[in-house]
Amino acid sequence: MTPSPPQRSAAGGGTLPAVPSSDERDPADTVDLAVRVDPVLARRRATQAVLVTFAVYGGYGLLGLSPIPADVRYLLLVASFYFVPQLMLRGDPHTQARWQVGPGAVIPRLDRAGLTWAGIAMLVVFPAFVLGFWWFYARVCDGDLGVLSPVLWIEGLTPWAGGLERYLVRLCRGYGDTFFPEAWHVPAEWLAYGGLGVLLAAAIEVFAIAMPEEVFHRGYLMSALEDRFVPRRRILGVPLGLGAVLASTLFAVGHLVGMAELARLATFFPALVFSWLWRRSGSLWAPALFHAASNLLMGVLLASTFPR
């Protein structure tokens, strides 16, 4: 396949090299292209991406003070995640394509690499996560909060002191009293429409939750930060560095806007997995599908572990 010719950046960054197709390079080397970006342009874009992230979440928070229904506010947030990256990179289709935030479509093209690596991640991570989930709630619902001592101590220094413990007390009222669930259950809404509710739930998870969050936080924010802070080391064969850590941090902090509970900062850790999948596969579909499947799995685990 013939590589595309060099392209001129409309943002004033000079001539940029052609981006090889996915058939011509290892997806894990995608981030290496960031080394070729003009440092001044990279610094400007990274700063802009961070400020845009604060603006999006700040706007969402302010809308929470208005009479606008919660569903409408969330739709506006989803629209921001999908369309703001393209808006900020308008006139630069080369970078839009490299970060998979355009040009044209707001949802990246589905490819085999995304499907493959999402499936591998599920096979590797989910069994350990399920066992860890059962172990954690077996201890917590038995009254042992020792595993949460650091989190509870930090929470005690914030205006949300006691919130996590109250949540766990309410949740554990429905605990099944056995390490393994006596039966598997699914969320009640999945059974709607003659059992087709599960398809609606899956579609919402993929296209209204996981994909827009991945397009914005991994495709746009993380890519901009990695152009500024180029990864120098590889984690399990994938170049990751400060850009992924900062993007994951902002991703976690953003979760506090919708629900001010300190435990939501734990989303930092799966965000690192999403970041790794993005760079390993070269496709935003890998973290998006894994992200959506994780949320669906959590729904099944909660319904089965707390059936009362």
Low-confidence ranges of the chain (pLDDT < 70): 1-35
Bridge partners (DSSP) of residue 7 are: 16
**H or E segment at 137?**
helix 112-140
Contact between residue 187 and residue 303 where contact means Cβ atoms under 8 Å apart: yes
Contact between residue 244 and residue 219 where contact means Cβ atoms under 8 Å apart: no
Contact between residue 210 and residue 218 where contact means Cβ atoms under 8 Å apart: no
Percent share of the chain, pLDDT over 70: 89
Bridge partners (DSSP) of residue 15 are: 8
Cis bond upstream, residue 103 (ω within 30): yes
Global pTM value: 0.86
Q: Give dist(CA 81, CA 70) in Å, integer.
A: 17
At 195, list the tokens: 């059992």
Its sign, for the CA torsion 147, 151, 156, 162, is: negative
Specify the pLDDT at position 172.
92
Specify the pLDDT at position 258.
77
At 84, list the tokens: 């703001």
Q: Give dist(CA 260, CA 122) in Å, integer.
A: 29
Specify the pLDDT at position 27.
54
Q: Give dist(CA 163, CA 169) in Å, integer.
A: 10
